[in-house]
Every structure is written in C-alpha cells, then in structure tokens.
Structure 1
Amino acid sequence: MPDKDAGTPRVFLVRHGETEWTISGRYTGRSDIPLTPNGELQISSSARKVVGAGKIIDPSRVARVFISPRTRARRTYELLFDNASKEILEGKSEITEDIREWEYGAYEGLLTAQIRAGRKERGLDTDRPWNIWTDGCEDGESAKEVSSRLDQIIAKIREIQGPYMHGEKGVDVVLIAHGHILRAFAKRWIGFELGMRLPMMLEPGAVGVLSYEHHRIDEPAILLGVNLGESESGSKE
C-alpha cells in the first residue's frame, strides 16, 4: 500500500544528551551543565543510526537547524552531524533563544518534590500538587510565555515548509534543545494548550518526529513511528 504522506516535511526534536542534572532529575534551565561522557555517547550512537544520506535525518533534505544556546545543546549539534554534514548545513544552522529550556526561575536546580514541598510551605497548591504545565515557575516563565515564544518558531517553520508539502524540495527542520521545551513544542505543534494533558517522554539523546497529515500545512501531527531502514536519497528539487 503506498504511503499517502510520503515526502511530507518533518520536524525532528533532538534532546541533548545526559548531564549530571538529568541523572539526578534537577530542573536545568539557564545553568550551563555540560554533557557527561555517557551523554556524548548517547548522541554519537543516535547519530550513527539516524543521521546521514538516505537515513531519517538526511542533511541534504534539511532546510534549517535550530539550536538552543546552552552548551549541552550546542555540543549535541557538534556530535550529531559529522564534518561532511556540517558542510551541507552551512548557513542553515541557527542558535536561538526561542527553544532555550523553560525558564525555571526559583526552581532552578531543584527536584519536583522540593518544589512542591516549598510551595506547600508557602500556602500554595492547597487543592492539587504543582504542575509546571499549568502553574509555570515562580520568578521564571509561565506556560503562556513559553507558548508565545514557541509559536513564533512554529510559524517560521510552517513558512519554510508550507510551499513544499509533497516533497518538491527538502525542507525538513531539526530542533536541538531540552526535555521540557521540546515536549512543550510538540503540544503547541498540534495546537494544544500546555495545560492540556498529553503525557510524553523524551529520553536524553533521543529523537522525536513531527509532521503533517494529508500533505496539509493546517493538519500538523505527531509522527508516532518512522521506518528506521535506509531509503533512496535525493531530493525532487
């Protein structure tokens, strides 16, 4: 059976590799924590499997790469693409604050249990436990503020991909960022408010995929599964 959505542009969500704070579960926003050796290995392993000519992330089909300014994300970019790929992507990569991690404010470096305990001591959350998706962060960002900056980059991506919904040109996009912001991005991609329940997981070094249904720019979708085998490369430009 033919794939009715073949050639539809994709958006790849790449979470940076492991850091010491991802191991402990501490909220890591502006803190510039480097990758652990294992975190670097995670990215290198993912790169071997999914990046390259004819693979899921084919640099010749990538129109833009958006990278969080944090060291852990920039290092992930360096490991994800080899020198040949970087040559292909020259002029297409952009470091942007739009996909920096959620600004955790007073919660930076804390664990969820610590945040909830502290809020309870201050008389907050009497009806239910703290939830970042609805409550945001004290001295940090609200869900509305996060949505606003993500919507800006989503609009930019759809402007890039809209004219080429049938694969006429390689316009895939790669985002290299962080656990919370990439899950928030996925929600906004399909039009969900951040407070709407949509449990998602994205491991360090993992790659998520978004796309569209029926080759339509107004039907964004979460791509639940991709074929991991290689295919014939080459664009229809």
Structure 2
Amino acid sequence: MPTPRVFVMRHGETEWSRTGQYTGKTDIPLTARGIEQVKETGRMVVGHGKLMDPSRIVKAFISPRQRAQMTFDLFTGECEGVEIEKDTTEDLREWEYGLYEGMLTKDIRAARKERGLDRTKEWDIWVDGCEEGETPKQVSDRLDDLISQIRDIQSPHMHDDKPADILLVAHGHILRGFVRRWLGYSLDFRLLLMLEPGGVGVLTYDHRSLEEPAVLVGLGFPLKEEVS
C-alpha cells in the first residue's frame, strides 16, 4: 500500500535557463534540447511499474507559463491510455523577479551594491526577495495555499490503496521553495536544493502521517512480480 506522493518536475531547458538568467513572467519556450530532456525523462520514469505510475496520479498542478505547459504535454505523452486531470494555477508561477527579470545573480548583486544596498551581506532571494517583484512572504503564502489543497486531496487516502499521487510542473525557484514549505521550513531556511531542467523530485510523508511531510532521498522500485 503506497504512501501518497507529490512529484515535482521542473520544465525543460530554455534559452534563459541555459544561461542562468532569471526567468519569471517572461514567457519563452523550451529549446530543442529541453524538449528532448522532457521526453527522455518521461520514457525513463513514467509507466506501469516505473517511478511514476500515471494510473495513480489524481491531479496535476501546472504553472501557466508556456515552458511548464509544454513540459506537461510532452511528459504526459508517455502516459498511454491515461488522462491526468490538469489544473493550471498561478500558485506555481515562477517567483516574480521584478527589476531582476532576465538578469544573472552576479549582476543583481553588483547593481544592488552600486545603489548602496547589501553593505554587510550579499543579496539572497530567499531572504531579500526582489525589488518591484515578490517578497519571500508573498511566495510562501501562495505555496502554502497549494500545499493545503494537496493535503486535502491526499489526507483521506493515507491508509488505503486508492490513487492519491500529485504531479507539479513548474520552475526552479518556486519548486525549491515548495520543498521548503512542504517540510515546514521558512523560505530563508538554509537548505541547499538543486533541480535540473527536466528533472523530477519526490515528496511524501513519513509514517503515513500528514504531520510528518518528508523528502524521498532514496527510492525503492516495485518488484517484478508486483507489476507483472
């Protein structure tokens, strides 16, 4: 009897993710390489007896940006014969970067220092947020709203065998923030996380308890006799 899971997937490569530019509201498509990243991830992890069984996914929450929408469509193309319910939500849009849209971290820090900011420490998005963009609290609040929705879906199925897995498709900063909030940490909690373009992470609960949200740092795969 599997514990409900939440799969967090970052969109495939874009021109700006390749160069490291902050991409919030700028709506750019996947590169050719990004498309292949997503397709290959789907081939490897989606299917009966694989990491992500589409028959157990009851809902997908997707960022409205086209790079996330393209990723979802390509990724779920591997889900033959199964249609996943899709909810496009602003809760999963990327951090609103404001003045920092399209910039690199080093350039943001240099520009802030030129304006007399950050004299005692370097700028950190998780602590300082973005000028004319979102604060950590604003981001945290919308992530908490989504987490509440997910737990409402999963809570009735913590001790039965009914499908209750959730898929999220979004962006690098917002998904790393989601993991922090899933675990109950503030966004400025020093938890270094990486999520590659086209990559998938897995969240769940320890002891089948809503009070013990967890990250799966080691995955077990079904035995052959269990999926035949």
TM-score of the pair, normalised by structure 2 = 0.95
Distance 1:204 1:230 in 2: 29
The unaligned stretches of length 5 or more in structure 1 are 1-5
Asked whether the 8 Å contact 2:47–2:79 carries over to 1, the reply is no
Distance 1:117 1:208 in 2: 33
Structure 2 residue aligned with 1:198 = 191
Deviation at 1:163, TM superposition (A): 1.0
Structure 2 residue aligned with 1:3 = none
Distance 1:174 1:157 in 2: 10
The reply to whether residue 80 of structure 1 matches residue 75 of structure 2 is yes
What's the RMSD between the two structures over aligned residues? 1.6
The reply to whether residue 49 of structure 1 matches residue 44 of structure 2 is yes
Output aligned runs, 1:15-26, within 5 Å.
15-26=10-21
Structure 1 residue aligned with 2:171 = 178
Asked whether the 8 Å contact 1:133–1:195 carries over to 2, the reply is yes
The reply to whether residue 129 of structure 1 matches residue 92 of structure 2 is no
SS at match of 1:88: coil
Structure 1 residue aligned with 2:213 = 220
Match for 2:212: what amino acid? E
The unaligned stretches of length 5 or more in structure 2 are none
Asked whether the 8 Å contact 1:60–1:88 carries over to 2, the reply is yes
Asked whether the 8 Å contact 1:68–1:74 carries over to 2, the reply is yes
Q: What per-residue deviation string (whole Å, max 9, x for no partner) do you get for residues 92-113 of structure 1?
A: 1111101000000100000001
Structure 2 residue aligned with 1:60 = 55
The reply to whether residue 89 of structure 1 matches residue 97 of structure 2 is no
Structure 1 residue aligned with 2:131 = 138
Match for 2:217: what amino acid? L
SS at match of 2:174: helix
Asked whether the 8 Å contact 2:54–2:79 carries over to 1, the reply is no
Distance 2:9 2:78 in 1: 19
Match for 1:149: what amino acid? R
Provide closer, same or farther for how the CA distance between residues 21 and 134 of structure 1 changes in structure 2, counting only shifts above 3 A.
same
Deviation at 1:52, TM superposition (A): 1.2
TM-score of the pair, normalised by structure 1 = 0.92
Provide closer, same or farther for how the CA distance between residues 49 and 40 of structure 1 changes in structure 2, counting only shifts above 3 A.
same
Structure 1 residue aligned with 2:101 = 108
Structure 2 residue aligned with 1:163 = 156
